[in-house]
Structure 1
Amino acid sequence: MQQDDASRETTALEERIISPLPAHLDHLTERARDYVEAASSANTRRAYASDWRHFSGWCRRQGLEAAPPDPQVIGLYITALASGSPAMKPLKVSSIERRLSALASSYREAGFSLDRSDRHIATVLAGIRNTHGQPPRQKEAILPSDLLAMLETLDRGSLRGMRDRAMLLVGFAGGLRRSEVTGLDLGRNQTEDGRGWIEILDKGMIVTLRGKTGWREVEIGRGSSDMSCPVHAVASWIAHARLAHGPLFRRVTDRGTSVGSERLNDKEVARLVKRAALAAGLRSDLREGERLQLFSGHSLRAGLASSAEVDERHVQKQLGHASAEMTRKYQRRRDRFRINLTKAAGL
């Protein structure tokens, strides 16, 4: 199994606790490392490795030890994150919580236990939430009319335009995360880094995905016309790009005349959404910088959740949510007053 740069890096923490094992166990040790990597996504591993480097660097500058875990030291660290400094902007509460998760994971892999309920951590974090906590800023949902306008900005006759049309339509109709879009392969078990595969049928397309909680299947039906059909868009991209095996969405090279073999980075989905939204003139009442911040890959998922006029359970299944409450958070423009408890109570 290939390892990304983050997983190759041995941290100072790991060096402190790794003990030698008998040579005949080397193959099991390597296999165990592979399984550890498979337990989380490459993006998560990179983020956690970066968070650990930041924490250990902060400890060195303060003359403190990063290991073993000291709740008081970590309480001071998250205080520094929330307060900021001339060299660093204050972090949002969600980012601080992510840093804590990264530290807990790094300590756990090294054989230590971080008690996040310790008063030096829990009380400080509660104070940070009360002082700096804000309602989440949700990304703008891309509705069907928005998506059609975005598709019109793409060159239908070019390879890049065909690929981008397929990515937008699949992301919307499947309610997929950006990593799920770019993680698709043409078939089952074709790549080591794939997160799923597609199967094109007469009535639509089955997308099989590997997520955090296991495997799930997403059905993407055919559209009312070829112009808006995600299945037709994917089939056209495959045919014109002459794809037979491996990643579904790849780089278009040589000034748009050929297709590479490498899988697209999932950030390309967000860039595509932003670029197409700007080109289509969405939310033109705002400045360009504000518009760029308003749209992301999640705008496609939110658009499906907000637009599909079906039983909420079907939307929940499509998005892979464990609860209806999570699905409702994606429904940006639903009628919040459809059920009026004031009148139902007799007022």
Structure 2
Amino acid sequence: MDTHFDNHFFLRDFSRNAQTEGLSDKSINSLAVTKAEHTIDAYESDWNDFCDWCRYHHKSSYPAAPETIVNYINDLADYAKAATIRRRISAISENYNASGEPVENPCKAWIVKEALIGLTRLKGSMQKGKTPIYWEELEEIIGRMDLTTLPGLRDRAVLLLGFMGAFRRSELAGLNVEDIRKYPQGIVITIQHSKTDQLSAGQQIGIPYLSHTSMDCIHALQEWLTAAHITSGPLFRSFLKNGRVSSRRLSDKSINLIVKKYVASIGLNPEFYGAHSLRHGFATYAALHGVEERLIMKQTRHRSVEMVRRYINEADLFTNNPIDKMFNRT
């Protein structure tokens, strides 16, 4: 499939497109101001997010199949608001309209419209993503785990690493032992393939040692690898029917189920939690403790401050709460 225009944002230079042939400069200028500059900026950011997703999943963004749009918005539904999803579809559609190329707009396909209706019915208004898991909740979960078993050791390492590294579930599932390097201060993990790493250059995350070994991610990883006799290949693996560790990589869906299982063990509703709760939890918990925006983004690898500021705003509901200042003065 021809992807010559892949990642190209036509709304920025639509005056050069075939659709404007025959128009005067005055007419072109009047068309150029039909959308506010901040709307164009938002659309460009949305288009780039779609292109990043397509690149990660080895799909073409231009031209794109309607099925690609459907799969993209279903992934978005894990964490994005309904309004965000609708705006992303609008941005993609507007960019196709502005291209001036004889390429069918995939957003107008009936399956895309049906998918949006279906997601709304399934998710309700989709006003919020997965609920964050906080550090204190992780402590309670791990305190109840059976760490004398291989599943317990693996799952503890999954939860702690997912939180500390603010990993997306696909990133966590894709890690290999070779991606981890030890240093006196801790470990550095290289993510070979990530949604926001367009050139697959690799992204590095540093995780330092903690003084409390029961919650130390590095200690948990080492215990899992030693007990499972894993020295290379997939970091997290599934189990065979006889209980032995297999050579197969743990899937991202399995990681999602692991999170749901353990939040239920401490009385939380698993419907509101998933693998993204670890990433969300790290960012919100960091903001709650006054960690500055750029440092949170460094660990979460967010390219845009929009989502990180959402986490900060969530934390700010409590850190700057008038009730707390009125009744909990020390």
- Normalised to the residue count of structure 2, the TM-score between the two structures is 0.60
In structure 1, how many angstroms separate the alpha carbons of the residues matched to 2:295 and 2:239?
A: 35
Q: Does residue 244 in structure 1 map to residue 244 in structure 2?
A: no
Q: Does residue 222 in structure 1 map to residue 209 in structure 2?
A: yes
CA change 1:147–1:339 in 2 (3 A) is closer
In structure 2, how many angstroms separate the alpha carbons of the residues matched to 1:203 and 1:339?
A: 34
2:219 alignment partner, one of 232, 241, 251: 232
Q: 3-state SS of the aligned residue for 2:267?
A: coil
Q: Give the 5 Å matches for 1:187-206.
A: 187=178, 197-206=179-188
Aligned twin of 1:40: 56
Aligned partners of 1:205 and 1:221 also within 8 Å: yes
In structure 2, how many angstroms separate the alpha carbons of the residues matched to 1:38 and 1:54?
A: 12
Q: C-alpha deviations, 1:240-285, integer Å up to 9, x for none?
A: 11111110000122443x2110101101111011110001123xxx
Q: Give the 5 Å matches for 1:1-347.
A: 39-41=55-57, 51=67, 113-115=103-105, 134=125, 136-187=127-178, 197-209=179-191, 210-214=193-197, 215-256=202-243, 258-282=244-268, 291-308=269-286, 309=289, 310-331=291-312, 333-336=314-317
Aligned partners of 1:51 and 1:103 also within 8 Å: no
Report the AA paired with residue 104 of structure 2: L
> 1:313: Cα distance to partner?
1.1
CA change 1:172–1:93 in 2 (3 A) is same
> 1:235: Cα distance to partner?
0.8
> 1:143: Cα distance to partner?
0.5
Q: 3-state SS of the aligned residue for 2:246?
A: strand
Q: Which 5+ residue runs of structure 2 have no aligned equivalent? A: 1-52, 72-81, 95-100, 322-330
Report the AA paired with residue 203 of structure 1: Q
Q: C-alpha deviations, 1:126-155, integer Å up to 9, x for none?
A: xx99xx794632221110110111112321
Aligned partners of 2:66 and 2:106 also within 8 Å: no
CA change 1:115–1:173 in 2 (3 A) is same
> 1:227: Cα distance to partner?
0.5
In structure 2, how many angstroms separate the alpha carbons of the residues matched to 1:144 and 1:54?
A: 35
- Normalised to the residue count of structure 1, the TM-score between the two structures is 0.57
Percent identity of equivalent pairs: 31
Aligned partners of 1:172 and 1:303 also within 8 Å: yes
CA change 1:261–1:38 in 2 (3 A) is farther
CA change 1:201–1:293 in 2 (3 A) is same
Aligned partners of 1:222 and 1:231 also within 8 Å: yes
Aligned partners of 2:54 and 2:60 also within 8 Å: no
Q: C-alpha deviations, 1:17-36, integer Å up to 9, x for none?
A: xxxxxxxxxxxxxxxxxxxx
CA change 1:50–1:148 in 2 (3 A) is farther
In structure 2, how many angstroms separate the alpha carbons of the residues matched to 1:237 and 1:247?
A: 12
